[in-house]
A = this chain, B = another copy of it.
Amino acid sequence: MDISKFIVNTRLSNTSPYYLQIASLIKAKIIDGSLAVGEKLPAERELAILFEVSRTTAINAYRDLEKDGYVSIKKGSGTYVRDRYSLVSNSTYEMPWPQLLRPYSEPSMASLMSELMVSNMLEDKISLDAGMPDPNYYPIDIFSNLHRDYLRRLDPRDFGHIPIHGYEPLRHTISEMLVSKGIKCHLDETIILSGSQQGLYLTGKVLIDPGDYVILQTPTYLGAIQSFQALGARVLNLPQREDFPFEILEDYLARYRPKLLYCIPTFRNPNGDVMRIEERKKLIQLAARYRLAILEDDPYSSFYYEDIPPLSLKAMDNYGGVIYLSTFSKILMPGLRVGYMVAHPSLIQRIVLEKQYVDLHSNNISQWLLDLFIKEGYLEEHLIKMCGIYKRRRNAMAEALNLSLASKLSFHIPVGGFYIWCSINENISSKKLLQEALKMGVSFIPGDAFYAAAGEDKEFRLCFSQHDEKVIVEGISRLEKAMGKLKKGQVSASKGHIKPII
């Protein structure tokens, strides 16, 4: 059959492999019934011509569809739309799921984060996008050894249900660990979470009603923006400035009585910003006066490359309003899915009640192994090692940027964390640059992913944590080439067809 009618005005983007995009297009047409069961699809060769891709890509697209049962590929005959539910024919009814589901706002925005998480698994490019630790340094062998060495001392019941708060030895270990950050907390002020994302979710869940105001220091972590927006919060922005914009904050406090201020005071994602110690003190004073709850997200403070960063807000919290959130995803590995929160016992008690609905309690194996890992001193060693590695990577990226892109980009060299935040000096949008950069084989995150409202179109984030110096230098060189192409106006033709990254 002729499926060319479906691909009018369809342009494949560079953000995911072509074969997946083609498969997804055909899948949508099968699901909505445009392609009926039994229908013969174009030969692979025709499909390749239709989408202007290689024959291998066309073959892969059909294989992907076959894997999910949408088509059957019959050797020597062709590819046919398959009856996915062979039993469906017995029933004249089909469940109208789309009508049943509750309305959902901005699914495309919401899916960006998941795309970021898998993007570097899908493609063979230099990924300067997702902010993750380098998998080559995950201490997986130590975890395996701990699993073996401590098995005999394990009480099997520790692999049964445990309290919602988490594995008690780990809660103790974390509260001891936090003393070095100036945070003194009691056991009933701590809870283990399934990643710090869960802390964002649950905090929003217990505090925010639709229409409530939340203050964000922007640009900031995408996952936080999304969590609060999904709850119907109205977002107030504290813009980026050399100094902390206290007069704006105070105006917000007086005018809107916001429920919460979310911030990443140390090595902020995405711009590496650090709130100064005097600013922290003043913020706490102001927050105490207005009884403003502060959600302090602190995933990066262990990775400092110059001086030790200032004390956390929680360490200075003299009114019980700071909710401290952190995670082992950045300092160890995301797959542990272990984060934690330190906050007033009243809040923790309530978070516990909500968490029980979400997953009863977090994963025991991770918590048990992590506790051993910290107690045996491996975490300290690991952090020292990784600080050295990331510092060299930051230096390499900073040097490469200074050498080749200093005139075209403005950027700030951070004293910790994973990111260099750039701004394009010329009138070129970061999304346009990304499109060109992907062709050159390098990726980054355009700036508007870090804003709640209309984006700052010329900004973008580079992450230096995932690759070694040589690859980073090559990545920046590719970026320079992409910038060069844009200057020469070589991308003007594709204007109007640019698909949003998000």
Contacts and interface: CB of A to CB of B under 8 A. Distances in A.
A209 B319 CA distance: 37
B206 A102 contact: yes
A243 interface: no
Interface string A56-75: 00000000000111000000
Contacts of A345: 31
A110 interface: yes
Question: Which of A91, A136, A293, A357 is the most central at the interface, judged by chain B CB atoms within 10 Å of its CB?
Answer: A357
A143 B366 CA distance: 13
A347 B97 contact: yes
Interface residues of A, number: 106
Interface stretch (A146-154, A298-306, A485-493): A146-154
Nearest to A165: B114
Nearest to A84: B186
A159 B140 contact: yes
Interface stretch (A14-22, A46-54, A329-337, A404-412): A329-337
A372 to B, nearest CB: 13
A502 to B, nearest CB: 14
A184 B31 CA distance: 18
Contact of A161 (B89, B100, B130, B157): B130
A209 to B, nearest CB: 6
Contacts of A141: 151
A96 interface: yes
Nearest to A346: B97
A227 interface: yes
B320 A121 contact: no
Interface string A326-358: 000000011111000000111100101100111
A359 B93 contact: no
B365 A98 contact: no
Question: Which of A93, A336, A360 is the most central at the interface, judged by chain B CB atoms within 10 Å of its CB?
Answer: A360
B321 A337 contact: no
A429 interface: no
Contact of A138 (B114, B156, B161, B201): B156
A200 B360 CA distance: 11
B107 A346 contact: no
A89 to B, nearest CB: 8
A100 B259 contact: yes
A332 to B, nearest CB: 9
Contacts of A494: none
Interface in A358-384: 358-366, 369
A455 interface: no
Interface string A275-319: 000000000000011010100000000000000000000001111
Contacts of A84: 186
B198 A358 contact: yes
A144 B140 contact: no
Contact of A140 (B31, B154, B209): B154
Closest 8 CB pairs of A and B: A335-B364, A159-B335, A95-B321, A117-B161, A97-B346, A135-B156, A363-B363, A91-B318
Interface of A: 31, 67-69, 84-85, 87-91, 93-98, 100-102, 104, 107, 110-111, 113-114, 117-118, 121, 130, 132-133, 135-136, 138, 140-141, 143-144, 147-148, 151, 154-164, 186-188, 194-195, 197-198, 200-201, 205-209, 223, 226-227, 230, 259, 288-289, 291, 293, 316-321, 333-337, 344-347, 350, 352-353, 356-366, 369
